[in-house]
Amino acid sequence: MGSLAMIDEYATILDDAARNAHELTQFDPNATMPLETAYAIQAASIRRRVQRGEARVGVKMGFTSRAKMLQMGLSDVIWGRLTAGMQIEEGTAVDISRFIHPRVEPELAFILRRPLAGTVTGPEALAAVEAIAPALEIIDSRYQNFKFTLPEVIADNASSSGFVIGTWHDPHTDFDNLGLTLNIDGRTLQVGSTAALLGHPLRSLVAAARLAALANEPLQAGWIVMAGGATPAEWIKPGQYVSVEMQRLGRAGFHVRSGTSTAKSLRT
C-alpha cells in the first residue's frame, strides 16, 4: 500500500483533472501499483467531492460484459463511486465542456430499498432492490487517448463521469435477457442484451455488494448501482441526442450541448 501522502497526491491530481476536464498522462503504464493502493486513491478523490458537498448516491460496476472487456483490453471486474454531481436528469442537455473525451454506454440501474452487504445470493440481492431502470453511463477517462492500465482506471473512479436513469420499474419481472439498443440521433449504433452483464445483471449487484462491503462502504438503502456497460461505448459530440432503448423498460436519453469556454472556466 502506498503512503498516505502519495495516495493524497494522486487523488488530488485525479480529482482536479475530473473537475477541470484536463487530461493526464498515464502514471503506471506497467501496472505495478497494487490494486489496493489504486482503490485507496479512488476513495480519497471521492472524499474530496463529498467534502465539497456532493452526496454519495451509489456505486458503478465496470467490465461486467465481455464487450467492454474486449473494447478496453482489461478483464477484471472493477467498481467506482457515484456522487450526486454525476447524475444528469433524463431528457436534459449536458454541456460537453464538462468532459475531456466522453463516451456513452447502455446500462441497467438498480435502486435499493434496503442495505445490502457482503456475500449475498442472487435472490437476496433481488429482495433488496426497489426498482430497475434503463440507464446510460457517460465515461470520460482522465488519461490521454482514453488509454490506461487496471490500477490507473481504478484510481480514476473507473472513468465514471455521468449517468442518466430512465423510468423506474418493478424488479419482479424477468430482466435477465432484455434486448437493448444504444442510439445516437435515431441511428442504432449498438445492439445488446442485459444478459451480457455477467450472464445476469443481478450478478453485477451481488459483486457490488461484496466489493463495497470489503471497502467498508456497504450499499445503502436508496443507493443506485449501475450494472456496467452491456455493449462497447460510443463517442459523443455536441448536438447529438443519445438514448438507450430497453425491451419492456423503455428509454433513457440526453442531449449533448456544445460548451463555451466561459462555462468551462466557471465550473467549480
CA separation for the pair 148, 142 (Å, rounded) = 9
Rule CB under 5 A: choose which of 190, 229, 240, 256 binds Mg ion: 229
Instruction: Considering the complex, state which of residue 72 and residue 112 has its C-beta at the smaller distance from ligand OOG.
Output: 72
Instruction: Considering the complex, state which of residue 82 and residue 184 has its C-beta at the smaller distance from ligand OOG.
Output: 82
Query: Helix %, strand %, coil % for the chain, to 5?
Result: 35, 30, 35
Query: In whole angstroms, how close is the CB of 142 to ligand OOG at the nearest point?
Result: 10
Task: Identify which range of 64-72, 93-101, 214-222, 240-248 contacts ligand OOG by CB under 6 A.
Answer: 64-72
CB 92 within 8 A of CB 257: no
Instruction: Show the binding pattern over residues 117-156: x = contacts ligand OOG (CB under 6 A), - = does not.
Output: --------------------x-x-x-----------x---
Q: What are phi and psi of 177, to 5 degrees?
A: -150, 65
Provide the b/e sequence for 171-206 (b: ≥16 CB within 10 Å): beeebeebebbbbbeeeebbebbbbbbbebbbbbbb
* Interaction between residue 228 and ligand OOG (CB under 6 A): yes
* Interaction between residue 201 and Mg ion (CB under 5 A): no
* Interaction between residue 229 and ligand OOG (CB under 6 A): yes
Bridge-based pairing of strands 241-246 and 234-235 is unpaired
CA separation for the pair 62, 211 (Å, rounded) = 12
* Interaction between residue 163 and ligand OOG (CB under 6 A): no
Query: In whole angstroms, how close is the CB of 176 to ligand OOG at the nearest point?
Result: 18
